[in-house]
Structure 1
């Protein structure tokens, strides 16, 4: 009794048996996964619901308009600079730019600056919206990769091609010269043309040659007629005096 009342181990004090709820009549889980019968698989595959195809293919539908993000101040500044480049320069060449060392870039810029040609690094997302709303929208197919612009207020196509020949990382795609869009072949042909002063001299010479030839043709008939009349008068005078006629002086075809 002493052991039950106060003595004994501490863990025995106030000990009560644990309560356990036992469910009578429960059965063990005996269901396991079983593969579907082959006939039923075929039936399920045949009776599977297939949604009808749309009458218009999705690729032909009008795409949803994307939300136009508001341009920040820096983007508007860059676009304004692009507009100034196309407005203030007579020659604008579009080139494909491949990665090259920084020293080569500095050297290329130095040689181009000698001929008053500047290098402009631009982003397609800045240039394309500007060109799409201007008269230069036919240049849009050229802006598909990383591009640079070679701009100059003067027509320096020959000097530009000479510099680019030593820079294989920069490929000329096309150019806009005096508001005329040219391909690479067109720029090369334009570079072979003589300078403006030489062309003007050749034009003036060609225009002056035609009037001189016309004047010579108009004067040839009267000069020939005058020579024949002089010869006839000389013969008449010689017949009256009885002396042999003197030989007529030679007349030039371009007489006065």
Structure 2
């Protein structure tokens, strides 16, 4: 019996005993970093490296011209013509040319020419050189890219806007109308105003009404007083029975 039990419990040849691995967790860390002393914190804050601000690239901003370049003879002639154009015109509009071909430009000029509006081409360099040194300096931001000028001796805003609506390649940027700088929306609002003749008629009508009303108010009291006096005279006359001696007899 004992031999049989021993045979059962003894490991057989080639048999590997059952093994079980137990993984133990790491020990919890109870040590913490000590806080830095206040004096050391101040010293670190004072001696902290602050890098200098990064400089802008050389081509980020346009370089200022240190010396004023002299105008060429052609540029002087163009500036003279531009000055005369600004002095003789009551309406000067700046329009951006968005890649319109020659045929579209001819049609655009023809529509404006019927209303006495001319299309003028000047280089932006010449225009900016003239505008910055004149009373029209606020128009300088309008001359960006390919631009043309629409000039007229009279303020024909409605006709100009009608021609611009027919040419979608041309975009209105702003205008100077009777020495007043207007944006594109301001030009549209200006076109909705009544004409000077209508405004003058309304003004004369209003002044006439006020004058007539004032005259009637001034004549009202004397006329009322005159009517009262006439009524009093009629009441005191003998035909009206106003004599007290006749009434007593």
TM-score in terms of structure 2 length = 0.68
Gaps of 5+ in 1: 1-51, 243-256
Question: Any idea what SS the aligned residue of 1:188 has?
Answer: helix
Number of residue pairs the alignment of both structures matches:
191
Please state how far the C-alpha of 1:71 moved relative to its aligned partner: 3.3
Task: State the match for 2:103 in structure 1.
Answer: 103
| CA-to-aligned-CA distance 1:85-133 (integer Å, 9 cap, x gap) | 2122111001111112322211110110111100012221121111110
1:222 matched to 2:197? The reply is no
| Distance in 2 (alpha carbons) for counterparts of 1:162 and 1:214 | 45
| Distance in 1 (alpha carbons) for counterparts of 2:162 and 2:176 | 18
Task: State the match for 2:165 in structure 1.
Answer: 165
Task: State the match for 1:156 in structure 2.
Answer: 156
Please give the residue correspondences for 1:187-226 in structure 2 after superposition, counting only pairs within 5 Å: 187-226=187-226
| Distance in 1 (alpha carbons) for counterparts of 2:130 and 2:65 | 20
Task: State the match for 1:39 in structure 2.
Answer: none
Gaps of 5+ in 2: 1-49, 245-249
Task: State the match for 1:129 in structure 2.
Answer: 129
| CA-to-aligned-CA distance 1:177-218 (integer Å, 9 cap, x gap) | 111111112212222222222222222222222121111011
Task: State the match for 2:72 in structure 1.
Answer: 72
Task: State the match for 2:17 in structure 1.
Answer: none
Provide the alpha-carbon RMSD of the alignment: 2.7
Please state how far the C-alpha of 1:62 moved relative to its aligned partner: 11
| Distance in 2 (alpha carbons) for counterparts of 1:82 and 1:101 | 25
Please give the residue correspondences for 1:113-128 in structure 2 after superposition, counting only pairs within 5 Å: 113-128=113-128
Alignment CA distance shift 1:64-1:234 (3 Å)? closer
Question: Any idea what SS the aligned residue of 1:176 has?
Answer: strand
Please state how far the C-alpha of 1:53 moved relative to its aligned partner: 6.2
Alignment CA distance shift 1:54-1:82 (3 Å)? farther
Question: Any idea what SS the aligned residue of 2:166 has?
Answer: coil
| Distance in 1 (alpha carbons) for counterparts of 2:83 and 2:159 | 25
